Amino acid sequence: MDICFEGVGQVAATFQVAGENVQPGMAVTLTGSGTVGLGADGGLPCGVVLGGVRGGAAAVQIGGAVKAAYTGTAPAVGWQELALDGEGNVKVVSSGEGSAKTAASGLKCLVLAVDEDEKSVVIKL
């Protein structure tokens, strides 16, 4: 039997997209009012882009279970603090990372599945 979390509790909204490099599947952050972008390394994710950018806008999943790529150390399953890497991926926040501007820690997310070969995680936002 296959395990599937796709679509569980999905909440999506349409946002303006800042930057030309934003692609489906990338983790993004709020960069302005109603606008998302890749953000800075260590920034807090607000969601994952679902579809291609059209007319400067895209659907972004902001709640529920979603798949995202990760960089660095593979997150463990369970509650983890995650941040952006500035390139559309999430990463585990190590102690001491972060700043007052981006928060002292990452965003607490429930990691449901990890695929180390694919370097992807399924997280509950």
Domain ranges, ordered by start, for the chain: 1-125
Contacts (Cβ under 8 Å, ≥6 apart) of 1: none
Q: What is the dihedral of CA 67, 60, 52, 76, to 10 degrees?
A: -20
pLDDT tens by residue, 89-116: 999 997 554 444 444 589 999 999 999 9
Whether the model clears a pTM of 0.75, i.e. scores above it, the answer is yes
**CATH classification code of 1-125:** 2.40.300
CA distances from 63 to 9, 52, 79, 117 (A): 7, 19, 16, 25
What amino acid occupies position 27?
A
pLDDT of 4: 82
pLDDT of 49: 97
Do the beta carbons of residue 48 and residue 60 sit within 8 Å?
Answer: yes
Residue of 75, 63, 57 lying closest to 115 (CA atoms):
75
Residue of 81, 68, 70, 75 lying closest to 109 (CA atoms):
81
